[in-house]
Structure 1
């Protein structure tokens, strides 16, 4: 039997002020298309009272012959990743109005992305930039929209690199 306020007869969860914000995860690299995805995620976060998270994955170096050299290369890559994220975080704060959540991982980008999504249930949307030129949309986009699509627990928003800032602002 339904109460008078809910014609479907189904219980609806109460929305509370303590409910977690929607988190828009952007996989960070130094590509132009990532900048488009980042702008879109920031605008959506600001307009929906959400938050942005940035993931940068350091690919393992192939230089394993001398452990000390490999360790030094790994440390340098981590420092560069942290500097990139800090630079981007300032821009996210300016565009979205809040500081992003920052993640640095080491390994295969696709594998680390899936691990992060498993570990962080509050991430609700994955935002990726996609190349529109002859080289294709990029290996991560191809993998996630192809055979790995079934492993995702969140929707993907693809932001083509041919959109200008005004267009991104108007649709986000």
Structure 2
């Protein structure tokens, strides 16, 4: 871990990092993190990662338009997720948009905020596997800088309430 966690020092509070993506199960991670935050007096940081393919210099204008559209979509997704967190737990999460490889940007978001103590993801119970982020994370779990909580998409609100 390159940055010492400071979440329990004076003037700090523990936070969960939740990745808001386009999968159906993101809601389970937001619900879990929001309930956890209320229980421990912590906070939630919501991350949306956008991936814009590299463009040649001659296509720079197209890349700028693509980036602007991706940021707009990211803001809308974070609006929905923040609204859910507020409705569930009466909290206003921090919002972060980063550009690049998802796993690398998750790591950078954690390194940038010494109060993040946990990464919360949700896993699909569908036939296609747990989802792209959970699948990609499996390769990195042994070297990850904070604990990772994976919430099953089959858990109901009542189930999560009992766990948090």
Above 0.5 in TM-score? yes
**Aligned positions, number:** 156
Q: Within 5 A, what are the aligned runs for 1:8-157? A: 18-61=10-53, 66-145=59-138, 147-157=139-149
On the 8 A contact 1:22/1:50 being kept in 2, the answer is yes
TM-score normalized with structure 1 length: 0.82
On the 8 A contact 2:15/2:115 being kept in 1, the answer is yes
Higher RCO (CA-CA < 8 Å; seq separation 6+): 2
Q: CA RMSD in A?
A: 1.9
On the 8 A contact 2:52/2:99 being kept in 1, the answer is yes
- 122-131 or 149-158, larger mean C-alpha shift: 149-158
Give how far 1:62 is off: 6.1
Question: Deviation string for 1:97-152 (max 9, x for gaps)?
Answer: 2211110001110111111112211100100000122211123212323x311331
On the 8 A contact 1:61/1:73 being kept in 2, the answer is no
On the 8 A contact 2:23/2:131 being kept in 1, the answer is no
Aligned to 1:165: 157
Whichever of the two has the greater Rg, that structure is 1
- 88-97 or 106-115, larger mean C-alpha shift: 88-97
TM-score normalized with structure 2 length: 0.86
